[in-house]
Structure 1
Amino acid sequence: MVLDLVFIGLAIAVFPLSVTAFVLVLSADRGILKGLVFILAWLACFVAVLAVVLLTTGGKPPAPRSPPSTASSAVKLAIGVGLVGYGWYRHRSRHGNHERSRHRHNSSGGGLMARLDRLSLWGTAGMAPLLQPWGLVAAGAATVVGADLSHSSSYLALFGYCLLATSSLLAMEVYTTFAPDSARVRLGKLRTWIETHQEQALVAVALVAGLFLVSRSISQLTS
């Protein structure tokens, strides 16, 4: 379980669309406060998903090869296949998407920042769940089915998973809080790089995460 959560948490942390959106939030008016609200809503969503799973299982992992255990692995397999398919689709249509994305950025970038400046704190909180990569979040939830809350190591694993999945946002928030001028320059460069390489990054994250989930779930189903 721990290896799966580490890998899924890393994939969520570097998911390009979430990172880009958070950079834009930090660049908006009252960006530090909005960033904090975004992170709190992001974490609250993670905790809610984990709580639902753990309440369903009672904090006890299902027996190997039992219907719940098989269903958990089957869900991860389906998500993995979906991510591989999504990555392959984005790879095949990358050129057209890049041209459309560049056109949208050039024509509406200023309007987007204006809307973010006017966005309320409640609106910022509502953005966080919408921008989470829900395929990966679902894969994490399916993995947490195997958590055994009778051992403290499971609590540490769950805490580490939430922290790891939020680590990129936390790092940017702390950096902007304590070094705003330097952060503005560096995060601007990061945003430019991600927007320039967004399709490649999405394809890479989707394919690598998908192949990992497929291999792990097949191993669990056949062992």
Structure 2
Amino acid sequence: MGKVLGDVLGLAAGVAISPLPIIAVILILATPRGRLNGVLFTVGWLLGLSALGAVMLAVASPAHASGHDHPATWVGVLKLALGVLLVAFGTRQWHRRPRDPSQAQLPKWMGAIDRLSPVKVFGLGTALAALNAKNAPLTIAAGAAIGSAGLPVGQQIASLVVFVVIATLGLLAPLGVYLLGGERAKTTLGNWKDWAAQHNVAVMAVLFLVLGLKLLGDGISVLTS
């Protein structure tokens, strides 16, 4: 189980430091129903990651993702494909990054966050975790890594729980500051939001290039060993 955790911790960290969900939760916390909606957004995020990871585990187990303590060929192909996807996405993001960080613009949907109902906030958290083109490949790769390790079901579930918790730290940090930070929380969160907004594209580009190359290496290793 230790080797599996080593494989998925980097992927979980990649999900955790995604700037857009962090900006989203900070904006949600600044709304009149910030406490409720912030918790709902985080719960939705947890549910989205857990559901996608669980689906991957359910697919991997009966599909013989592991044999003789070695990942199946299709796991190597999947990691290779995800690696290519992430490298291509990271390269595209890097070329599209603003030369002047102060000119960076947030997605238009963020301007409507203060008008979202609690149900929609919950759905937004779920969607950003499970359906986002940036986070889903990392969660799928983590599920494949866990499912291909030949672990008992209990250890697979425990590994997925560790992945989900680590991948949620990026949201738990601003939520914790909001709930426990008192009067200084608003200033602290505002500074975090401004930095994340300015450097979002560059951070994501570097992140996906690094993780994409790791998945490429993992895929090649599975296919050639």
Q: Which runs of 5+ in 2 are unaligned?
A: 130-134
Secondary structure, counterpart of 2:185 in structure 1: helix
Q: CA deviation at 1:151?
A: 6.7
> What's the counterpart of residue 132 of structure 2?
none
Q: CA deviation at 1:143?
A: 2.0
- Write out aligned runs for 1:59-138 (5 A): 62-63=66-67, 69-95=72-98, 101-102=104-105, 112=111, 115-132=112-129, 133-138=135-140
Residues 184-209 of structure 1 show CA distances to partners (whole Å, capped at 9, x for unaligned) of: 11111011111111221111111111
Residue identity matched to 2:174: M
**Cα distance in 2 between the residues matched to 1:173 and 1:218:** 39
Q: Percent identity?
A: 28
> What's the counterpart of residue 158 of structure 1?
160
> What's the counterpart of residue 212 of structure 1?
214
Secondary structure, counterpart of 1:183 in structure 2: helix
Q: CA deviation at 1:146?
A: 2.0
Q: CA deviation at 1:148?
A: 4.4
> What's the counterpart of residue 44 of structure 1?
47
The answer as to 2:8 corresponding to 1:19 is no
Name the CA shift for 1:97/1:64 in 2 (closer, same or farther; >3 Å): farther
Q: Of residues 183, 186, 198 in structure 2, which corresponds to 1:184?
A: 186
- RMSD, matched Cα: 2.8
Q: CA deviation at 1:50?
A: 2.8
Range with bigger deviation, 165-174 or 148-157: 148-157
Secondary structure, counterpart of 2:66 in structure 1: coil
Q: CA deviation at 1:98?
A: 6.2
**Cα distance in 2 between the residues matched to 1:47 and 1:149:** 18
TM-score, normalised on structure 1? 0.84
Number of aligned residue pairs: give it.
216
Q: Is the 8 A contact 2:69 2:149 kept in 1?
A: no
Q: Which runs of 5+ in 1 are unaligned?
A: none
Residues 50-80 of structure 1 show CA distances to partners (whole Å, capped at 9, x for unaligned) of: 33233331598521598x8211221111111
Residues 109-144 of structure 1 show CA distances to partners (whole Å, capped at 9, x for unaligned) of: 9x81xx322211100011013223222222222223
Q: Is the 8 A contact 2:53 2:139 kept in 1?
A: no
Q: Is the 8 A contact 1:25 1:34 kept in 2?
A: yes
Secondary structure, counterpart of 1:197 in structure 2: helix
> What's the counterpart of residue 4 of structure 1?
7
**Cα distance in 1 between the residues matched to 2:195 and 2:72:** 41
**Cα distance in 2 between the residues matched to 1:64 and 1:18:** 39
> What's the counterpart of residue 144 of structure 1?
146
Q: CA deviation at 1:152?
A: 5.0
Range with bigger deviation, 68-77 or 204-213: 68-77
